[in-house]
Amino acid sequence: MAEKVVQKITKNRLLTERKLIDAVGSIIRQKGYTGLGVNAIAKEAKVNKKLIYRYFNNVEQLIETYVIEKDYWLSFNNKIIDEIDLKNKKSSLIENYVSILEKQFEFFWNEDEMQKIILWEISERTSLLDSVSMVREEYGNALLALSDPYFKNSAVSIRGVSALLVCGIYYLVLHAKKNDSTICGLDINTEEGRAEITKSLRHIIEWAFQAGKTKIKTNRTDLPDAVE
């Protein structure tokens, strides 16, 4: 009997937590991040606001839970490293880079809430989004660390290339969603325009790894060669 009571309480808590998390997303879609607040979230979830503090300690942790759940890089972190084939590491890294960026582009294009979160992140500094950004960086660094040896003593910076591509995807999507104008003659609001971007992501990553084979000339003899 006692076990059934505990199970019911646990189930009720999980359902309430889900309602609160979903309410954060609903408010972001309707009003943007400025609409977030204890009373607004509780009203949207149709629960007592005290439960926010009971289950999440405060509204910031509730919002952080939602953001982490929705964030592309945090969601796919565990899959990134697991999918690297160590027997064919370089080819596997290239394919994973391409796949990750293609999926980021597709994911970000389809997620209105995440678009508003990124806008929030670049327009207003908060400790909440700072912490999420730091965790995102730690996760992304795991993939970059595997790639670094292929670019040692090379004129190519895979980290610079990655930064431009990731941020470029954010800008392309945000620009296309807010304006009807083209970018470099491409209409990202069309399937054809998005296909051009996807194709170019592969070209750039393959170019980077190919160009990474070229070493910077140096008179030093104590520097190890880049990994082939």
Q: Read off the CATH number of the domain in which 32 is found.
A: 1.10.10.60
Is the domain of 48 the same as that of 7?
yes
Lowest mean pLDDT among 25-29, 79-83, 183-187, 198-202: 79-83
Q: Tell me whether residue 226 is in a domain.
A: no
Which 3-state string (H, E, C) describes the chain?
Answer: CHHHHHHHHHHHHHHHHHHHHHHHHHHHHHHCHHHCCHHHHHHHHCCCCHHHHHHHCCHHHHHHHHHHHHCHHHHCHHHHHHCCCHHHHHHHHHHHHHHHHHHHHHHHHHCHHHHHHHHHHHHCCCHHHHHHHHHHHHHHHHHHHHHHHHHCCECCCHHHHHHHHHHHHHHHHHHHHHCCCCECCECCCCHHHHHHHHHHHHHHHHHHHHHCCCECCCCCCCCCCCCC
Is the domain of 99 the same as that of 200?
yes
Give yes or no for residue 192 having a pLDDT over 90: yes
% pLDDT > 90, the chain = 39
Q: Tell me whether residue 216 is in a domain.
A: no
Give the global pTM: 0.78
Residue where one domain finishes, among candidates 13, 28, 63: 63
The total domain count for the chain is 2
Is the domain of 44 the same as that of 108?
no
Q: Tell me whether residue 221 is in a domain.
A: no
Residue where one domain finishes, among candidates 31, 63, 95: 63
Is the domain of 40 the same as that of 144?
no
Q: Tell me whether residue 134 is in a domain.
A: yes
Is the domain of 42 the same as that of 112?
no
Residue where one domain finishes, among candidates 63, 96, 111: 63
Q: What pLDDT sits at residue 6?
A: 47
Give yes or no for residue 226 having a pLDDT over 50: no
- Please report which confidence band the pLDDT of residue 125 belongs to, taking 50, 70 and 90 as the band edges: confident
Is the domain of 89 the same as that of 28?
no
Is the domain of 18 the same as that of 56?
yes
Residue 16: which domain range?
2-63
Is the domain of 107 the same as that of 168?
yes
Is the domain of 49 the same as that of 150?
no
Is the domain of 26 the same as that of 105?
no
